[in-house]
Amino acid sequence: MNLDLGIDLGSSRTRIFVDKKGKELDEASVSAYSVADNQIIAVGDEAYAMIGKTPESINAEFTIENGVISQSMLLEDTVNILLRHVCTSKIIMPRVVAAIPGDVTEVEKRAVVNAISSFGVRRVFLIENTKVAAMGAGRDIMGPHGTMVADLGAGTVSIGVLSLGGVAVSKSLKTGGNDMDNEILKYIRKKYSLIIGLPMAEKCKNAVGCLVEPSAEKTFRVKGRDAIGGLPRFVDVTEEEISEVIMPKALEIVAAIKDAIEETPPELVGDIYTDGIVLTGGLANLRGFDKLIESKTDIRVTVAENPADCVINGCGIAISYIAEVEKTAKTDINPLMAAY
């Protein structure tokens, strides 16, 4: 019996897709562990709830930062725990399709493979984020037709122009939703002398983050600790001021999209102009991001349905190409980039 899995090791969320079942796991990419012996106490959403609330003897942190593994041993243990939730039998060794950013080094690829292989899988197949994001958004990337996708994640932004199952143009930024959260955190401390945590900054971005025609009336209550007196305090921030805070990071992403278009061969640009740009990833839900990109590129922009799940759903579709890779004579176009 074969068991095939798709894994999206995101900077914010780790998702696992089980063939013929769908997305079976969606947890925060966070581990809480004992400082004394590195023993894991909690992973996923349970560990995320501990961020900023742990004693000195416990650390709760993200295992992946800006698309790069920050602590390989910690990630291996975390992946093992999460995989046990969907693969309960140790007799069956699954085959795994894992999504990675397009510009990762061989060392970073090997770190991803090692983290997954430590569970005891049969083979690991790697595929670029932009490919699976486009597939998960319902785009056909196998034909001789240009498709442009921007996968806007928490830690990285991957931009790709795809054709014939490959990547014609690729851009990647080590920036994303987490950087916007950090900008909000710094702004609140500087202007209001209020210390808040990243989870509160993320809630603020999701509630009043807007990039086109923000309102001065819409507000969000930010709660934290007074930087001077040390007592609990709150302030109400407006959609308009948060827009000013996150706009520079958004414009960095727009500039990268424009650079990718400028590097695209003319025939593929024609396809993109006809079909438009598709946005995937959790940051694609930020209000007005599609309109901002449209205004700067003069190209229609579409936000995929359930953009945060496009990569993991695309991994599920990519599972169907495993059999072709394992043939001795590979003849067809295949989107999977490497097998280990």
Start-end of H helices in the chain = 45-48, 72-86, 106-117, 129-136, 177-192, 198-208, 239-262, 266-275, 289-297, 310-318, 322-325
pLDDT tens-digit profile, the chain (340 residues): 678 999 999 989 999 999 999 999 999 999 999 999 889 999 999 999 998 889 999 999 898 887 777 777 788 888 899 999 888 776 778 999 999 988 788 888 888 899 899 888 999 999 999 999 999 999 999 999 999 999 999 999 999 999 999 999 999 999 999 999 999 999 999 999 999 999 999 999 999 999 999 999 999 999 999 999 999 999 999 999 999 999 999 999 999 999 999 999 999 999 999 999 999 999 999 999 999 999 999 999 999 999 999 999 999 999 999 887 766 545 467 888 778 8
Residues 276 and 335 placed together within one structural domain of the fold: no
Q: Is residue 99 part of a domain?
A: yes
Q: Residues 207, 279: one domain?
A: yes
Q: What is the pLDDT of residue 330?
A: 54
Query: d(Cα 301, Cα 38) in Å, to the nearest integer?
Result: 45
Instruction: Give yes or no: residues 179 and 58 share one domain.
Output: no
* Residues 46 and 157 both lie in one domain: no
Number of domains in the chain: 2
Q: Are residues 70 and 101 in the same domain?
A: yes
Q: Which structural domain range is residue 99 located in?
A: 4-132+313-339
Residue 308 counted as domain residue: no
- At 16 the pLDDT is 96
- CATH number, domain with residue 105: 3.30.420.40
What is residue 144's DSSP assignment? S
Residues 202 and 274 reside in one and the same domain = yes
- Residue 294 located in a structural domain: yes
Q: Residues 43, 188: one domain? A: no
Please check whether residue 17 lies inside any domain of the structure. Answer: yes
> Does 121 share its domain with 205?
no
Is residue 334 a contact partner of residue 135, using CB atoms and an 8 Å limit?
no
- Give the pairing type, strands 194-195 and 40-43: unpaired
Q: What is the pLDDT of residue 127?
A: 95
- Distance, in Å, from the CA atom of 82 to the CA atom of 18, rounded to the nearest integer, reads 13
DSSP letter assigned to residue 105: -
Structure confidence at residue 326 (pLDDT) = 66
3-state percent helix, strand, coil for the chain, nearest multiple of 5: 40, 30, 30
Q: What is the pLDDT of residue 1?
A: 61
What angle, 0 to 180 degrees and rounded to 10, lies between the N-to-C axes of helices 289-297 and 239-262?
Answer: 40
In Å, how far from its chain's centre is CA 55? 29
One domain, residues 258 and 322: no
pLDDT of 332 reads: 62
